[in-house]
Structure 1
Amino acid sequence: MTSYFRPSVDAMVGYVPGEQPKPGTNIIKLNTNENPYPPSPDAIAVLRNLDSEWLRRYPDSYANDFRKAVSEVLEIPVDWIIVSNGSDDLLNIVMRACAELGRKVVYPMPTYVLYRTLAQMQPAEYVEIPYPDDYHLPIEELVAANGAVTFVASPNSPSGHAVPVDHLRQLAARLSGVLVVDEAYVDFADETALPLVKEFENVIVIRTLSKGYSLAGLRLGFGIANPQLLSGLFKVKDSYNIDAIACLVGAAAIRDQAYKNECVQKVKASRAKLAVDLKQLGFKLWDSQTNFLLAQPPKGNAEEIYLALKERGILVRYFKHPGLEDKLRITVGTDEQNQILIEMLINLS
């Protein structure tokens, strides 16, 4: 059959998202790192009282209402903020602006595999630097790879570890290209790399409202960087990449820091309890600063357990990738959901 696609598209394997059962399905969903608690009541109120005029008109192409809310909460000037259709959109914007054939994309592995997919789409050469067993950031190797773009997820998925900000600072100081610090899980972490954007004009910190704010279905993310770096990104973003509803709801959600922090504390407490319960069953765990745990079953039979749990109505994430074949990534649910998971694992042992 004749191909209608670019050779790079024919050669690539598309990103495979986690399974998404239909709403209302009797499933305990611990596979895609959604927050188990509802969004801020303030955000829900905006949605319920939405004026239909916002649907009729094109939205603000810069999502300024949301940028102002981010500026207030994080004490960052508005012109240091770019808004995107989920943080994935912003990763793609950075890739389109900075990478191409002859300009490499570099990142440590294992990490978010969408980085590879986006590089293949461009296309751009990508260099994957293995993390050591202790997940210490391989600074020398990342610098030597000389990327036009270097991605570091911190906290990282699927490992759950956070990279010390000082290590990111050392990396940023030595890179000639752009350093993207992907902070999708920062709301559950002990520190942020945000100060680096003021220290280095080549650093952008990317965040999302999907995790800490329980708004994965809204698709809203943002980046913070020196306006000089953002100027090139604004050139390649879609004209209206943020819809009006997302902008209004997201602004209300991010201003409600008290509610977000309350939910985050509940997730962190549940994470600690789930870790204790899994260790008692013989699982090996990695320290996590996210809303999930990377867990190695005592027999290493991760795929078998994943399939058995799925048959019984519990979804966890299994990656058939080098170094991950014997591990599961388990989203932290409510205490009730986590207890059902533990009881099921006991029955399977």
Structure 2
Amino acid sequence: MSKYVTAAVRALNAYTPGEQPKAADLNKLNTNENPYPPSAAVAEVLRSFDSSLLRLYPDPLCNAVRERIAAMHQCTVEQVFVGNGSDEILALCTRAFVEDDGSIGYFTPSYSLYPVLTDIRKARRNPVPLNTGFSWNMPADYRASLFFITNPNAPTSLLFDHNTVGNFCHDFDGVVVIDEAYVDFATTNCMDLALRSGNANTLVMRTLSKSFSLAGLRFGYVIGPVPLISALYKIKDSYNLDMLAQKIALAALNDVDHMHNNVAKIKATRANLTTELRNRGWEVLDSQSNFVFAKPPQGMAAADIFTALRQRHIFVRYFPGPDTADYLRITIGTDQQITALLAALPT
């Protein structure tokens, strides 16, 4: 690598996104995308958009879509920040809330971008291993400048207890970001923690990538106390969300019924897949997400099944490592996709 690249970047182990293969006969169950299309209102925005408007800069504050989000969550516009995907928001948090000698915490296993963002910020990693069974674990004397909680967690699919999360946020002397990328597939959420009276340190983040079927758009938002939200606006890119993204996001958020209908179908398929895998001897965690985290029966190796499925153009996700190597993460697709997956699994 060039000598002009910083030492930190030269040493960085970059984030590895899920594979995006191009085969025509693909059964893609590896990146937690929604198998159903977004609202018809999204297609209408694209059909009717006046391309001559692209000569103009977009609204730098994204006011129209922020007003819609504020109305949805019964908060003020000043409590809402929108970003170019949730990942932009995560990166901004590392810059806004962590001093040069600070540290960033997160559970392991969890979203593998967190340690990468920590290294980019040149902060100290302060991970917390989850308990056996991937349940909550937090040392009594734990300290960090910023802590990321994915809830429901990925890749485990499990939902942390609301009161446990709330007590941690209340007692923690730092900023907590609760990443609720998968929360629309869960039974409860933590948005009230961002909006509760006296909250000074808790942010709750959402995305349109999963439940709203807009992974290709890159739109996320976060809600929390005005001083923290204002800090993010101070350091964001000047026009971080383009004009089309703002219009499409607003159209999708104005049709939450469509999202809920898609979520209901995914949850039904998730239940059927869980039952079928368990009947075959697999250990399947109680998913609250749009994927399952499943361990094959004794005598079958997850890595071998991953490879065999891939050879048949069925893509699931495999995470090597001491905590995750025995499991496969399987995105919930259509019923037809899941039927094909089950037919291809060894018995």
TM-score range, shorter chain: over 0.9
Q: 8 Å contact 2:39–2:259 — kept in the other structure? A: yes
Q: CA offsets per residue over residues 87-137 of structure 1, 9 Å max, x none?
A: 011000101112244211011110001000000011110111110013332
Shift of 1:70: 1.1
1:176 matched to 2:185? The reply is no
Q: CA offsets per residue over residues 218-238 of structure 1, 9 Å max, x none?
A: 000000011111111111111
Q: CA offsets per residue over residues 199-218 of structure 1, 9 Å max, x none?
A: 31100001100000000000
Q: 8 Å contact 1:210–1:220 — kept in the other structure? A: yes
Give, as a single letter, the amino acid of the residue that structure 1 aligns with 2:343: E
1:1-349 correspondence runs (5 A): 2-22=2-22, 25-139=24-138, 141=139, 144-199=141-196, 200-298=199-297, 299-345=299-345, 348-349=346-347
Q: 8 Å contact 1:100–1:122 — kept in the other structure? A: no
Q: 8 Å contact 2:75–2:195 — kept in the other structure? A: no
Q: Secondary structure at the match of 1:144?
A: coil
Structure 1 stretches of 5 or more lacking a match? none
TM-score, structure 2 as length reference:
0.96
Greater shift after overlay, 68-77 or 115-124?
A: 68-77
TM-score, structure 1 as length reference:
0.96
Q: Secondary structure at the match of 1:21?
A: coil
Pairs aligned (count): 344
2: CA distance, partners of 1:294 / 1:17: 18
The alignment-based identity, stated in percent, is 40
Greater shift after overlay, 309-318 or 64-73?
A: 64-73
Q: Secondary structure at the match of 1:195?
A: helix
Shift of 1:254: 1.0
Q: Secondary structure at the match of 1:90?
A: helix
Give, as a single letter, the amino acid of the residue that structure 1 aligns with 2:61: Y
Shift of 1:74: 2.2
Q: 8 Å contact 1:127–1:145 — kept in the other structure? A: no
Give, as a single letter, the amino acid of the residue that structure 1 aligns with 2:161: P
Structure 2 stretches of 5 or more lacking a match? none
Q: 8 Å contact 1:14–1:117 — kept in the other structure? A: yes
Q: 8 Å contact 2:206–2:222 — kept in the other structure? A: yes
Runs of 4+ off more than 4 Å: none
Q: CA offsets per residue over residues 1-39 of structure 1, 9 Å max, x none?
A: 6532222222221000001123x7220100000000000
Give, as a single letter, the amino acid of the residue that structure 2 aligns with 1:18: G
Q: Secondary structure at the match of 1:330?
A: strand
Q: 8 Å contact 1:293–1:329 — kept in the other structure? A: yes
Give, as a single letter, the amino acid of the residue that structure 2 aligns with 1:265: A
Shift of 1:300: 4.6
Give, as a single letter, the amino acid of the residue that structure 1 aligns with 2:290: N
Give, as a single letter, the amino acid of the residue that structure 1 aligns with 2:21: P
RMSD value over aligned CA atoms?
Answer: 1.3
CA shift in 2, pair 1:110/1:31, >3 Å:
same
